[in-house]
Amino acid sequence: MKPEEAASDTVLVIEDEADVLELLRYNLDRAGFRVLLAGDGRSGLDEARAARPDVIVLDLMLPEMRGEEVCRKLKSSGDTASIPVIMLTAKAQVDERVAGLELGADDYVAKPFSPRELVLRVQAVLRRMRAPGPGGSLVLGPFELDRGTFEVRLEGAKLDLTAIEFKLAAALMEKRGAPISRETLLRDVWGYRNPIDSRTVDTHMRRLRAKLGPHAGCFATVRGAGYRFDAGGTED
């Protein structure tokens, strides 16, 4: 069992130089990411809106639509505003860097860069995004996950969850919609090294859902894959 099989993160690379694109595709793929590619700003923006990747690597100098404009549009639309953007700048120019960060880019990497460094930056930006800051919380739809107080609030009201139910909810919410297999949940939530009975997960999931009223469907079953969090989910 590969831990990332059901939940590998997707990176969208928007870059017009074919050799850079191929270098990134190869290295990100090797690091376990699912990789999507776009060769110009316009199709990159369309792809970002359609596929909602976990991270976007965005070149500044692009045909059709420049990287700054792509970034501005991504960050000003509710659907894509939360996707972290790593900008590729032509050189380590402070001006470009500052402009990129002002546009809402989450990080930048100056060309020429080492593929290994870029992969590390992608991993770091994902880690940063998923770790709630001190006292911070993760808000997804009507749910709020507070790692500091170990609470989940639904429409502002604290849910009365057991420790296992909290960990189950937290694991799924932190994946933001990517499915997690029962085996991975048994390992990460229960700490079982050799999972034998995945029905344990179903039993606890049923109890968790029973506490969510009309929002039970937000913790959705994915046939053959496990469970996923779906902020807009309805009863299934």
Q: How far is the CB of 111 from Ca ion (least distance, A)?
A: 9
Element (H, E) at 12: strand 10-14
Q: Which of 23, 42, 43, 61 binds Ca ion (CB under 5 A)?
A: 61
Q: Which stretch binds Ca ion (CB under 5 A): 8-16, 29-37, 105-113, 125-133?
A: 8-16
- For residues 41 and 65, the answer to whether their CB atoms sit within 8 Å is yes
Using a 10 angstrom Cβ sphere, with 0-12 exposed, 13-18 middle and 19 or more buried, the burial of residue 87 is: buried
Size of the site for Ca ion (CB under 5 A): 3
Establish if 16 lies at the interface with Ca ion (CB under 5 A). Answer: yes
Q: Which of 47, 49, 51 is nearest to 178 (CA)?
A: 51
- Apex 54 CA angle, 49 and 56, nearest 5: 70
**Which residue's CB is nearer to Ca ion, number 70 or number 201?**
70
When CB distances to Ca ion are compared, the closest residue is 61
Using a 10 angstrom Cβ sphere, with 0-12 exposed, 13-18 middle and 19 or more buried, the burial of residue 180 is: buried
Q: How far is the CB of 24 from Ca ion (least distance, A)?
A: 12
* Interaction pattern, residues 19-58, with Ca ion; x per rule: CB under 5 A: ----------------------------------------
Q: How far is the CB of 61 from Ca ion (least distance, A)?
A: 4
Q: Residue with structure tokens 């949940």?
A: 185
Residues lying near Ca ion in the complex (CB under 5 A): 16, 59, 61
